[in-house]
Chain A
Amino acid sequence: MSATLRFDNIGKVFPGVRALDGVSFDVNAGEVHGLMGENGAGKSTLLKVLGGEYQPDSGRVLIDGNEVKFASAAASIAAGIAVIHQELQYVPDLTVAENLLLGALPSTFGWVHKREAKKHVRDRLLQMGVDLDPNAKLKKLSIAQRQMVEICKALLRNARVIALDEPTSSLSHRETEVLFKLVRDLKADNRALIYISHRMDEIYELCNTCTIFRDGRKIASHPNLAEVPRDTLVQEMVGREISDIYDYKPRALGDVRFAVKNVEGHALREPTSFEVRRGEIVGFFGLVGAGRSELMHLVYGADRKKAGTITLDGEPIKVRSAGEAIRHGIVLCPEDRKEEGIVAMATVSENINISCRRHYLRAGLFLDRKKEAETADRFIQLLKIKTPSRRQKIRFLSGGNQQKAILSRWLAEPELKVVILDEPTRGIDVGAKHEIYHVIYQLAERGCAIVMISSELPEVLGVSDRIVVMRQGRIAGELPREQANEQSVLNLALPVQSEPTAQAA
Chain B
Amino acid sequence: MEVRENISNTLVPSKNDKQKWWQQITEYSLIVIFILMFITMSLSVEHFFSIENMLGLALSISQIGMVACTMMFCLASRDFDLSVGSTVAFAGVLCAMVLNATGNTFIAIIAAVAAGSVIGFVNGAVIAYLRINALITTLATMEVVRGLGFIVSHGQAVGVSSETFIELGGLTLFGVSLPIWITLACFIVFGVLLNQTVYGRNTLAIGGNAEASRLAGINVERTRVWIFLIQGAVAALAGVILASRITSGQPNAAEGFELNVISACVLGGVSLLGGRATISGVVIGVLIMGTVENVMNLMNIDAFYQYLVRGAILLAAVLLDQLKNRGSRD
Contacts and interface: CB of A to CB of B under 8 A. Distances in A.
B312 interface: no
Interface in B191-225: 196-199, 201, 204-205, 208-209, 211-219
Given A342-B209, A346-B204, A322 B214 contact: yes
A343 B218 contact: no
B222 to A, nearest CB: 9
Contacts of A365: 197-199
A350 B201 contact: yes
Interface in A1-38: 13-18
Nearest to A368: B196
Contacts, number: 98
A343 B213 contact: yes
A339 interface: yes
B50 interface: no
Contacts of A404: none
Contacts of B209: 339-340, 342-344
Contacts of A361: 198
B163 interface: no
Given A57-B16, A341-B212, A346 B275 contact: yes
Interface stretch (B5-13, B123-131, B290-298): B5-13
Given A54-B330, A346-B275, A367 B201 contact: yes
B212 A342 contact: yes
A345 interface: yes
A304 B201 CA distance: 26
Contacts of A300: 215
A358 B217 CA distance: 10
Given A15-B20, A346-B204, A388 B7 contact: yes
B10 A18 contact: yes
A335 to B, nearest CB: 10
B156 to A, nearest CB: 43
Contacts of A17: 10
B18 to A, nearest CB: 9
A322 B3 contact: no
A208 B203 CA distance: 50
A278 interface: no
Query: What band does the interface of chain A fall in when counting residues whose beta carbon is under 8 Å from B?
Result: 35 or more
Nearest to B192: A366
A366 B196 contact: yes
A358 B198 contact: yes
Among A300, A321, A339, max chain B CB count under 10 A is at A321
Nearest to A394: B208
Given A386-B3, A386-B7, A388-B11, A15 B19 contact: yes
Contacts of B302: none
Interface string B240-276: 0000000000000000000000000000000000011
Contacts of A302: 214-215
Contacts of B19: 14-15
A327 B218 CA distance: 11
A326 interface: yes
A239 B7 contact: no
Interface string A54-87: 1001000000000000000000000000000000
B52 interface: no
Contact of A343 (B14, B20, B212): B212
B205 A354 contact: yes
Given A345-B275, A365-B198, A388-B7, A339 B211 contact: yes
Contacts of B217: 321-323, 325-327, 355
A43 interface: no
A367 B217 CA distance: 17
B216 A409 contact: yes
Interface string A369-398: 100000000000000101110000000000
**What bracket does the count of chain B residues touching chain A fall in?**
20 to 34
A257 interface: no
A198 interface: no
A408 to B, nearest CB: 12
A343 B205 contact: yes
Given A17-B10, A361-B198, A339 B216 contact: no
Contacts of A18: 9-10, 14
Contacts of B215: 300, 302, 322, 332, 334, 340-341
A332 B2 CA distance: 32
Interface string B44-68: 0000000000000000000000000
A365 B226 CA distance: 14
B193 to A, nearest CB: 8
Interface string A40-59: 00000000000000100100
A339 B212 contact: yes
Contacts of B196: 366-367, 369
A334 B275 contact: no
A215 interface: yes
A259 B201 CA distance: 34
B201 A345 contact: no
Contact of B198 (A14, A239, A357): A357
A366 B14 contact: no
B10 A388 contact: yes
A343 B9 contact: no
Contacts of A369: 196
Q: Counting chain B CB atoms within 10 Å of each CB, which of A239, A343, A358 scores highest?
A: A343
Nearest to B271: A345
Contacts of B204: 343, 345-346, 350
B201 A15 contact: no
A175 to B, nearest CB: 25
Contacts of B218: 323, 354-355
A386 to B, nearest CB: 7
A16 B11 contact: yes
B201 A239 contact: no
Interface string B105-128: 000000000000000000000000
Contacts of A343: 204-205, 208-209, 212-213, 275
Residue among B20, B217, B218 with the highest chain A CB neighbour number at 10 A = B217
Given A239-B2, A322-B214, A355-B217, A346 B208 contact: yes
Nearest to B202: A354
Contacts of A57: 16
Given A334-B212, A346-B204, A367 B9 contact: no
The 9 closest A-B pairs by CB, nearest first: A343-B208, A326-B217, A345-B275, A323-B217, A345-B208, A343-B209, A365-B197, A15-B20, A354-B216
Given A343-B213, A388-B7, 12 more contacts: A13-B16, A14-B19, A321-B219, A341-B215, A342-B212, A343-B205, A343-B208, A343-B212, A343-B275, A345-B208, A346-B208, A361-B198
22 contacts: A13-B17, A16-B10, A16-B11, A18-B14, A215-B6, A302-B214, A322-B215, A323-B217, A323-B219, A327-B217, A334-B215, A339-B209, A340-B212, A341-B215, A343-B212, A355-B216, A355-B218, A357-B201, A367-B198, A386-B3, A387-B7, A388-B11
